[in-house]
Amino acid sequence: MIDISTSLSLQEVSLQGIFNAHQVTWSLTNKEIIKSLKLTASLLELYGENQFKVRSYNTAVYNLERVEEDLTKLDLSQLNELPGVGKSIAKIIDELNRTDSNDVLNNLLKQTPEGIMGLMGIKGLGARKIKTAWDELGIESPSAMLQAAQQGQLAALPGFGDKTQDRVLQMIKYHLDTQKKVHYKVAHLAGEWLESLIKKQFSNPMLSRSGEFRRKTEVVEDLEYLWASNRPWEPEEFLDNTEGLEKDPKRSGPLRWVGTITAENLPLDIRFCDEDSFGSHLLRHTGSQEHLKLTNKEGRSLWDTSLATAAREEDIYKSHGWPFLPPELREGLFEDSYIKLTKTPDLVTMGQLKGILHNHSTYSDGKHSLKDMAQQCKSLGYQYLGISDHSQTAVYANGLDEDQVRAQHQEIEAINKEMVPFKVFKGIESDILNDGGLDYSVEVLQNFDFVVASIHSNLNMDRKKATERLITAVENPFTTMLGHPTGRQLLKREGYPIDHQKVIDACAHHGVIIEINAHPWRLDLAWEWVHYALSKGVIISINPDAHDKAGLEDMYYGLCVGRKAGLTADMTFNAKDVEEVTRYFQHRKARAISKSLV
């Protein structure tokens, strides 16, 4: 059974959209105000508004994302004083604060078809291309755009061509394939809200997540649960009368409650069983089909064994002749290695993580200061923080020039004296340039404790080019770890194509750590390839890529990816304590400097 002790309000969970076809409504927060400004900028660009006006919105958004004050508490004069926020946008924010409405955005939405709004939500498509396709071909929906691309109609449009048409086709397919899914973080937080309500009403309920939700896949289609009760009508009645839930009577039945969590329109599917068969039902409703088809030495499938009545999953596995397998591993891919050992794998836990690497501050595009990030990291119980702001080529993210690097290092040294024994490591997220080179000279690189090498530009490479580019960066002796290797953004865009085996093999050969980027939209490297990396002896670092204090807590989602791959503490870099990490960085840097002198 899962721990359902966390209590969250539904408002804390809600990440719902900020518009509908006729009127903009939301519960005002800084985040929702910024979302409205972003959408306004995109629609102004769609309708060909002056680029200076569009840029003023984007500049305001960039600056507001770094504001810590509650925008809803500021009056017009105070809003006017905020850096990068002009008078017109200050008036819009003031209007939102007073009326919960944005007339500029509302007017734009009224003239925009719903299908065009669907196209606007596809990352990488761009307002100008949407407008061209709308004007020239009358395209007003993702499905119409897909059909036009499949028929070759987009290539002839101004600003398109064959390559752009192929890219649009790929983006639309990805969008349509994933539009009914949500990031695991969204599902997890909504699940915690629901579980806290259930615990308040029922004492020690036999309740568990199930399906891909329990297996902690990166994205999920619905929130599945199994609830054991010998009086199932009581939990059903509770669900029927819980505010924030809506039942679908047509899909529900005597032992199944199907509906949605209304704030997010998240599908919810709760099955009921008696308490004596909780374990057998839970096992069947957790593992993938491939997992349940696996057979033991006698040739009996796990599914067949699970048909016996059991209150605990452990009893099913035992009678099958196998060790208990954690839910994350039940994908039907890598279980054999654990079954042969007849031992439950000792997967890494949050309590074993000693520090957090790959984080950003206000020196580049982070929201909070270096010291704020360090103090928050320490308050979470960690021993160290690795700061790795963007490098100089990342102008869009305020990448650090050499003078800024020196200034940041001086501040880090002062913080380390003040916060001892807690330590901030001097890192950088160096852009991998088009030729695979890093973003600074050797003279600058040797001043960092560690270097995270990542790609942020020229994402439309073919497989050969992308692979060569990454391997060249891995071969650089100053590269400590490889950041978000494929650049994917889940439910937004696919990663650039790479030869995973070649890149991972290169990391193994050169002793380069590979990151699991724990940002819920990335979770990159994917768990299937993390497993391969572990088989090659590559050390993994779980990094949140945090751009604010709250982002430090995304470590959990990276941990889920690692556990699905079979990651243990001994193969996790940031399970090392501060002294071990210090020695590792010092040795690695000394070796890199030595090689650079040859």
Q: Is the pLDDT of residue 190 over 80?
A: yes
CA distance linking residue 339 with residue 347, whole number of Å: 15
- % the chain with pLDDT above 70: 95
Find the domain containing 387 and state its range: 354-596
Residue 134 falls within a domain, yes or no? no
Mark whether 397 and 280 lie in a shared domain: no
- DSSP character at residue 241: T
Name residue, tokens 């010092």: 586
510 close to 329: Cβ distance less than 8 angstroms: no
Residue 164 falls within a domain, yes or no? no
Mark whether 313 and 450 lie in a shared domain: no
Over residues 17-40, the pLDDT tens digits come to 333 333 334 457 888 899 899 999
Q: Which of 89-103, 367-381, 522-536, 552-566 has the lowest mean pLDDT?
A: 89-103
pLDDT of res. 10: 35
Mark whether 217 and 256 lie in a shared domain: yes
Domain boundary among 112, 145, 163: 112
Residue 198 falls within a domain, yes or no? yes
Give the pLDDT mean for 274-288.
97
CATH number at residue 48: 1.10.150.110
Mark whether 427 and 565 lie in a shared domain: yes
267 close to 223: Cβ distance less than 8 angstroms: yes
Mark whether 363 and 330 lie in a shared domain: no
Phi, psi angles (nearest 5°) of residue 335: -65, -30
pLDDT of res. 32: 86
pLDDT of res. 67: 85
Mark whether 321 and 267 lie in a shared domain: yes
Residue 6 falls within a domain, yes or no? no
Over residues 219-229, the pLDDT tens digits come to 999 999 999 99
Give Cα 218 distance to the centre of its chain. Answer: 8
CA distance linking residue 300 with residue 310, whole number of Å: 17
Mark whether 271 and 415 lie in a shared domain: no
Q: Is the pLDDT of residue 570 over 50?
A: yes
CATH number at residue 477: 3.20.20.140
Which helix (H) or strand (E) segment is 474 a member of?
A: helix 463-475
Could you tell me where the DSSP H helices lie in 25-81?
30-46, 51-64, 76-80
pLDDT of res. 27: 52
Domain boundary among 112, 132, 152: 112
Query: Where residue 186 falls among pLDDT bands split at 50, 70, 90?
Result: very high
CA distance linking residue 534 with residue 320, whole number of Å: 28
Phi, psi angles (nearest 5°) of residue 115: -65, -35
pLDDT of res. 31: 84
Over residues 247-266, the pLDDT tens digits come to 999 999 989 999 999 988 89
CA distance linking residue 437 with residue 11, whole number of Å: 45
Mark whether 211 and 300 lie in a shared domain: yes
Rounded-to-10 torsion of CA 397, 390, 434, 156: -20
pLDDT of res. 65: 86
Distances (CA, A) of 163 to 137, 145, 450: 19, 15, 38
Residue 157 falls within a domain, yes or no? no
CA distance linking residue 469 with residue 471, whole number of Å: 6
Output the six-digit token pair for 348.
């890494």
CA distance linking residue 430 with residue 470, whole number of Å: 12
Mark whether 359 and 324 lie in a shared domain: no
272 close to 294: Cβ distance less than 8 angstroms: no
Give Cα 485 distance to the centre of its chain. Answer: 14
More confident residue, 124 or 187: 187
257 close to 194: Cβ distance less than 8 angstroms: no
CATH number at residue 202: 3.30.460.10
Residue 507 falls within a domain, yes or no? yes
Residue 140 falls within a domain, yes or no? no
Q: Is the pLDDT of residue 413 over 50?
A: yes
Mark whether 520 and 418 lie in a shared domain: yes
Greatest Cα pair distance, the chain, in angstroms, is 77
Q: What is the total count of domains within the chain?
A: 3
Domain boundary among 287, 305, 336: 336
* Closest C-alpha to 546, from 350, 362, 348, 351: 362
The 3-state DSSP composition of the chain as helix, strand, coil percent (nearest 5) reads 50, 15, 40
Give the pLDDT mean for 173-184.
88
pLDDT of res. 598: 67
56 close to 32: Cβ distance less than 8 angstroms: no
In degrees, to the nearest 5, what angle opens at C-alpha 134 toward C-alphas 132 and 137? 95
Neighbours of 422 (CB within 10 A): 18
Over residues 44-81, the pLDDT tens digits come to 999 988 889 999 999 999 889 888 888 989 999 999 99
Give the pLDDT mean for 437-461.
94
Distances (CA, A) of 275 to 240, 311, 313, 444: 22, 7, 12, 63
Neighbours of 493 (CB within 10 A): 18
CA distance linking residue 63 with residue 289, whole number of Å: 48
Output the six-digit token pair for 515.
């990151």
Mark whether 324 and 370 lie in a shared domain: no
Mark whether 298 and 402 lie in a shared domain: no
* pTM confidence score: 0.84
Residue 161 falls within a domain, yes or no? no
The one-letter code for the residue type at 386 is G
CA distance linking residue 304 with residue 292, whole number of Å: 8
Name residue, tokens 């109609």: 153
Give the pLDDT mean for 104-125.
88
Q: Which of 198-207, 320-329, 331-340 has the lowest mean pLDDT?
A: 331-340
